[in-house]
Structure 1
Amino acid sequence: MAIEDEEGMRLPGTRYQEHGWEQVRKLLGQCSLQALAHLGPARLLDGDDALLPEYVDAVARALRAGGSRAAMAGNSYGDTVLDLSLTLAYELQARPADWAALCAAVAGEHARIGPFWMAPGGDALLRKKFNDLYAVLRDKVDSDNYQAACGRSCSPNRMYAYRMLDTAYGEVARLFAAWREHRAQVGAILGREVQAEPIEARQLRGRADCRPEWIMRWSETLEGFTGAPGPLHTRSKRFASLKGSADKIAAMLREIGEYEALSANQDRDWLQDASDATAWLDDYWRVLDESSQASTPGPDQLLEARQDELDLAGLELEDAGETAQAPVLLDQALAARVSLSPRFLLMAAAAQERGSWAGQVMAGDSLPVRLAVYLKLLGPFDDSYPSEWLDPATGELPTMQQLALLDEVSLPTLRKRRDAAIARLGAAAG
């Protein structure tokens, strides 16, 4: 069986999830070094607000002179590597918090080992900082565009989970195709001894055909066959909502497969080099390895570093002399409507940590508004969320509809209050 999906994952609204991303990443890293050679890497330590537009202008000029790599196909929708790279660079200018996170990462490295960009191999370390920046940014952009296209919530973390499952499908398909060489592992995935070509190898034609139990068993087998635990079997909570959730895995794979079939362009034969796919997979394993060893796991280390205050500090009831309205028990009718315990607000409030700058900024906001802020910024699930914040039925934060009911306001009103709180956080962070 041949794997027929070399172009990679497609989802509504997304442009950066296919294997062309590898060329985008390389071009942005290369051109970022060219821009910094002109501007001076030391300026990243100064916190100079003027540097971001200067960097964007300089990197845009370098991108346009990017040569053959810039002209390569970036995805199956007709965007070139140059198109995608320029769009992401200009998007960065509209997201100064991400630039601030990069500067903080560079400053942290400088505090540890000095002007590392001047040392042998320093260019590679500096380029990695920019690669991390754009890896975070691409999932933010694609998750925003997915939400606009589908009307369904999707955090950057969820976008990464889609990509993990898509990569896992590709690995299962590869193993099935080479079942003779991987007879024992294929047998473990299928749950039976394999003596002849399994019928499943011929039936697996796309993501929608991939059974969730295969993904779960594939992840379970990895440590025994490769020495590294699979993504669903690491200490990382990145995929906690998928662990043991065959229905969720099946639904996400089905969505990827259905949109792939819907959007397939039969007029073009767009196939990236096999080396690009291999590089993407190598990067995937690198990320998983970092995730399993890091204290705050996951691929978006730069995002997490910038959002540590929000991510780890939590919310609070009292701060700076201000007291938010104390949550009360939900009446039985409302508890039934939101499918939560009558004690949900009390328990969620009791789980909050105190003394955070985020709590100071949002001290006057209700608990549902605060949870809505976290839902927007970090997504429905994050390692840092106390279990008391999560809906037991989903293992995730309550939805915006649930939070609006909890706050006894309309959904548009909750969105307005949430966005106002986010704007205050952004101003305080700035």
Structure 2
Amino acid sequence: MADSYVTERAPTRAYVIHPDIDGSGGNRRIPENALEEAVALAHALPGVDITGGQVVRLRKPSPGQLFSSGKLKEVGAALEAAEAELVLIDGPVTPVQQRNLEKAWNVKILDRTGLILEIFADRARTREGVLQVELAALSYQRTRLVRAWTHLERQRGGLGFVGGPGETQIEADRRAIDEQMTRLRRQLDRVVKTRTLHRAARAKVPYPIVALVGYTNAGKSTLFNRLTGAEVLAKDMLFATLDPTMRAIRLPGGRDIILSDTVGFISDLPHELVAAFRATLEEVLEADLILHVRDISHPETEEQAADVAEILESLGVDEDVALIEVWNKIDALSDATRAALRNTDRRTEGVQAISALSGEGIDDLTAAIDAALAAVLAEPKELAELHLDFGDGRRRAWLHEAGVVEKEELAENGLHLRVNWTARQRAAFEAL
């Protein structure tokens, strides 16, 4: 054991580049903030040591090598000084550009899509998550075979078992990938059918679904843990949560709900992943209420919110679905800003300012969730007369906490109450 460290692999030295291309159009992000996010993404990849990074401004991308010859030499010198072995380029890189850059700099190149796929492959834990990552990776790999093979013009004949006469190597490889993708889709279909059965079983218990969505690292898992008492991994790291997690909880008003934590969204999410993770996000599509968790302390919180809205739209989430914006991480703000936000959220419909870390604002949030679901589900209420003994303080406290007491009077041997509640609240009370 004493010399076990000798066999450990040294971290790969990585350098991060964010290409800032003039006239890219519609880019909401400040380049320096985009670089910071790319570095955070790189930190989420195990076995990588970030040795530096920079924004590289370009008038237009070079078709063959992305960067101009001058930028190529300038960045090459920086890579040599940083002793980089891996370059993470925060943007799309074509297979030809990747091959040429690797030759010019003598390093491994990974673009944004490849980096996110690597992170997802490392984090996937459930069977469905693993299958989806493999499917997305194959879809990505299929488009990059031109880089993987330098003998593309080589043709091989044969008996037709591996490839027919005249079939090129790249065609055979694409066919092999297509066959593997077909196998993965069949396996995913079986997993999805199992999940459909689970959803059907849950449908027999009429619990509304509340889904947490938001930009990656917005604090969804911390809020999930705060509300459920679970111990889902919650770290200050992009994509700390990948596989969906669900818990049944009871709100203070007596309503039982299913709370769903989902994978975080991110700008420029690879289209391979949007398609592959659609099944993972089915709980969002079926949610009765969506909590959009925002890191309100982030300098680009508005841009992140816009990215989340775009992805929800691309997934086909109905715009009429009830949604509460949860402005999280107010503990990271100044006292004056926090006070202003707390006042703002009272005046703004559908907004709650909280700190999932400290618990500030959580009571108001759960009350807002209950009220929103009551409106969505339109549960009818009925009047009832109750009698409680003087010693039945716990049940009396529950009724007041649920906000159903309309009148309370002192009686000879206890308390007489008139309540206005739903059938769900009545059942919760009777179960106490």
Q: TM-score, normalised by structure 2?
A: 0.22
Looking at secondary structure, tell me which structure has more strand per residue: 2
Instruction: Give the TM-score, by structure 1 length.
Output: 0.22
Higher normalized contact order (CA 8 Å, seq sep 6+, divided by chain length): 1
Structure label with greater radius of gyration: 2
